[in-house]
């Protein structure tokens, strides 16, 4: 089914999808994933259109009522030119984005992990940290903690952290890490798209271009930092387990 808005025909499925997104937004649900996918496709089409016009000149939209032209466009293979440009451009952008994201994320994660593994905590630093926790507990919690209570809490945590725990942590982190990587690629593609809009559209001025460019770069930076932080979480948990075990063994009362 379709709905006509003047000369514009909109498929009913598109309207239903838009209403579902609006409904999720009004219910307080996150609409970022579908909006990101929609804008990602729009950016890809815009970039492909720019390169098509750069190579072949301006194009004209086919009239959907002109079935002969539509069949010629499909059967004679004319569709393959813009389709090939769309595929090549997207693969090229994805490849460049990966060349930027993967090395930075990998080396930062490795550097932070080595810092966590090689960092040596002094006994005085641990004792000072425990004393601060005890002091703060009297302010932010109903009961005053003491060293023995912290040791008991450490024992419970120690018993719950197993090899399966590390595997579960890494498995649970895989999806948010993929989402962050997808957000980085989306922002990277957005920078290319808004640069093309800036070049092509007279109304797309320097101020708007600068603001959107700055926001996109900040978003890319934050996604890399967040991705690296998720990457070191297993190492943090392992280090926490190690320090808790050593602290309990040194302070446990017989």
pLDDT digits (tens, 9 = 90+) for 122-136: 555 555 655 565 555
pLDDT in tens, 151-196: 666 666 666 666 677 778 778 888 889 999 999 999 999 999 999 9
Whether 141 is covered by a domain: the verdict is no
Which is higher by pLDDT, 78 or 160? 78
Residues above pLDDT 70, as percent of the chain: 65
Whether 146 is covered by a domain: the verdict is no
Whether 5 is covered by a domain: the verdict is no
Whether 39 is covered by a domain: the verdict is yes
Burial 24-42 (b: 16+ CB within 10 A, else e): eeeeeeebeeeebeeebee
| Burial of 232 (C-beta count, 10 Å sphere; 0-12/13-18/19+) | buried
pLDDT in tens, 195-251: 999 998 888 888 999 999 999 999 999 999 999 998 888 888 777 777 667 666 666
Contact present, 81 and 56 (Cβ < 8 Å)? yes
Which is higher by pLDDT, 141 or 254? 141
Whether 84 is covered by a domain: the verdict is yes
Q: Which of 251, 229, 254, 238 is nearest to 126 (CA)?
A: 251
pLDDT in tens, 28-53: 555 667 778 888 888 998 999 898 88
Domain, as residue range, for 184: 12-119+161-251
The structure tokens listed for 44 are: 């890809």
The pTM score is: 0.74
Whether 38 is covered by a domain: the verdict is yes
Overall number of domains in the chain: 1
Integer angstrom CA distances of residue 95 from 63, 90, 100, 126: 35, 8, 9, 46
Whether 138 is covered by a domain: the verdict is no
Q: Which of 119, 112, 110 is nearest to 242 (CA)?
A: 119
Whether 151 is covered by a domain: the verdict is no
Q: Which of 78, 80, 88 is nearest to 47 (CA)?
A: 88
């Amino acid at each position: 089914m379709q709905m006509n808005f003047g000369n514009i025909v909109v498929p009913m499925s598109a309207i239903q999808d838009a209403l579902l997104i609006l409904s999720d937004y009004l219910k307080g649900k996150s609409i970022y994933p579908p909006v990101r996918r929609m804008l990602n496709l729009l950016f890809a089409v815009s970039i492909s259109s720019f390169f098509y016009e750069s190579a072949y000149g301006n194009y004209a939209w086919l009239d959907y009522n002109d079935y002969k032209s539509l069949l010629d466009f499909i059967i004679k293979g004319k569709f393959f030119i813009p389709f090939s440009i769309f595929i090549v451009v997207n693969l090229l952008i994805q490849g460049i984005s990966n060349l930027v994201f993967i090395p930075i994320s990998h080396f930062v994660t490795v550097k932070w992990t080595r810092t966590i593994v090689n960092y040596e905590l002094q006994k005085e630093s641990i004792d000072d940290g425990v004393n601060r926790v005890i002091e703060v507990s009297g302010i932010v919690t109903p009961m005053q903690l003491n060293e023995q209570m912290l040791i008991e809490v450490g024992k419970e945590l120690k018993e719950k952290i197993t090899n399966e725990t590390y595997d579960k942590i890494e498995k649970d982190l895989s999806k948010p890490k993929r989402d962050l990587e997808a957000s980085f690629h989306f922002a990277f593609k957005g920078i290319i798209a808004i640069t093309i809009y800036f070049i092509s559209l007279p109304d797309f001025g320097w101020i708007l271009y600068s603001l959107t460019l700055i926001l996109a770069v900040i978003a890319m930076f934050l996604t890399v930092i967040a991705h690296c932080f998720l990457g070191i979480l297993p190492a943090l948990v392992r280090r926490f387990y190690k320090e808790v075990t050593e602290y309990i063994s040194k302070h446990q009362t017989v």
